[in-house]
């Protein structure tokens, strides 16, 4: 931390978990050290390293750390819906919310949080926006994966996208069996176009509250 601070002229932020395992939940201690070494902001995912994604994220710990230090604390873990972000902020558990997996399923979650916060109607993407967003994921993935790793990961992203939508299970099976990018995109496009037709949209769109 000290070395990084010396090496750069930009704010340095840090992200930690609650500890390595149940016997070493030392996040409060680490948070104090990080602050003392001049970090500008701290993000906390309230699970241990050993836990990976098992169990639930400990937001009481996030709040405890926020009380223990003076730099802004961003909470992370299990925020899947806009209302959950608003609730955590309103309860004073954190200064900001970090969203990982839900943003992969629903990249509009940030605009939706803003809308809920401002008391505006929650924007729900139409089929074309969903298709465009999957293309953005595709192009980003191409920059980071070689050909062999690409298609499996792309299928995974497309599956995440349809998660939580009515009929999504069948679409996920079809995407899982698709052999190339064009096939994945065609299945995905058919699915979101069908899901966003007025007669099915009300039932099929994911929960946003
Ligand atoms: C695809 C992906 C990549 C991630 N990469 C990092 C990373 O490089 N560094 C890190 O500290 N956390 C990383 N995380 C963890 C997230 O920042 C977050 O703490 C965790 O997923 C819990 O939040 P969530 O329930 O909103 O997903 C990653 C998560 C995902 C899903």
Stretch 29-52: mean pLDDT: 97
In this prediction, residue 203 carries a pLDDT of 47
CB-CB contact of 61 with 83 (8 Å): no
For residue 116, what are the CA distances in angstroms to 8, 93, 196?
37, 18, 22
169 and 99 part of one domain? no
Report the greatest alpha carbon distance in the chain: 59
* Tokens found for residue 159: 């599956």
146 and 78 part of one domain? no
Q: Choose the final residue of a domain: 93, 118, 143.
A: 118
CA separation for the pair 50, 128 (Å, rounded): 40
Let me know if residue 208 belongs to a domain: no
C-beta of 130 in contact with ligand 1 (< 6 A)? no
* Tokens found for residue 143: 């920059």
* pLDDT tens for each residue of 109-139: 999 999 999 999 999 999 999 999 999 999 9
CB-CB contact of 101 with 70 (8 Å): no
Stretch 192-199: mean pLDDT: 83
CA separation for the pair 3, 21 (Å, rounded): 27
* pLDDT tens for each residue of 141-194: 999 888 778 999 999 999 998 986 778 899 999 999 999 999 999 999 999 999
ipTM of this complex prediction, to 2 decimal places: 0.97
C-beta of 77 in contact with ligand 1 (< 6 A)? yes
Number of separate domains in the chain: 2
Ligand 1: which residue has its CA nearest to atom 12? Answer: 15
* pLDDT tens for each residue of 17-40: 999 999 999 999 999 999 999 999
C-beta of 51 in contact with ligand 1 (< 6 A)? no
- Ligand 1 atom closest to the Cα of residue 98 is 26
CATH number of the domain where residue 95 is located:
3.20.20.70
72 and 132 part of one domain? no
In this prediction, residue 166 carries a pLDDT of 78
Ligand 1 centroid to 100 CA: how many Å? 5
In this prediction, residue 72 carries a pLDDT of 98
Q: Choose the final residue of a domain: 118, 144, 168.
A: 118
* Residue 177: domain span: 127-199
Q: Choose the final residue of a domain: 118, 140, 175.
A: 118
111 and 189 part of one domain? no
Let me know if residue 43 belongs to a domain: yes
CB-CB contact of 116 with 83 (8 Å): yes
In this prediction, residue 163 carries a pLDDT of 85
Stretch 58-75: mean pLDDT: 98
Ligand 1 centroid to 199 CA: how many Å? 36
Let me know if residue 205 belongs to a domain: no
C-beta of 76 in contact with ligand 1 (< 6 A)? yes
Stretch 80-89: mean pLDDT: 97
In the block, which residue shows the tokens 């994921």? 137
52 and 145 part of one domain? no
C-beta of 99 in contact with ligand 1 (< 6 A)? yes
């Amino acid at each position: 931390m000290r070395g990084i601070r010396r090496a750069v002229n930009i704010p340095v932020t840090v992200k930690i978990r609650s500890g390595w395992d149940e016997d070493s939940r030392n996040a409060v201690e680490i948070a104090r050290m990080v602050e003392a070494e001049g970090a500008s902001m701290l993000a906390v995912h309230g699970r241990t390293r050993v836990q990976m994604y098992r169990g639930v994220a400990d937001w009481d710990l996030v709040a405890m750390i926020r009380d223990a230090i003076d730099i802004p604390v961003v909470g992370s873990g299990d925020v899947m819906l806009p209302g959950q972000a608003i609730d955590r902020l309103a309860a004073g558990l954190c200064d900001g919310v970090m969203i990982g997996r839900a943003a992969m399923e629903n990249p509009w979650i940030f605009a939706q949080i803003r809308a809920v916060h401002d008391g505006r109607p929650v924007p729900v993407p139409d089929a074309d926006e969903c298709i465009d967003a999957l293309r953005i994921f595709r192009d980003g993935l191409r920059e980071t994966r070689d050909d062999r790793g690409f298609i499996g990961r792309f299928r995974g992203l497309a599956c995440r996208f349809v998660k939580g939508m009515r009929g999504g299970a069948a679409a996920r099976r079809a995407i899982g069996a698709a052999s190339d990018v064009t096939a994945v995109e065609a299945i995905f496009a058919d699915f979101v176009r069908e899901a966003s037709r007025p007669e099915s949209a009300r039932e099929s769109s994911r929960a946003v509250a």
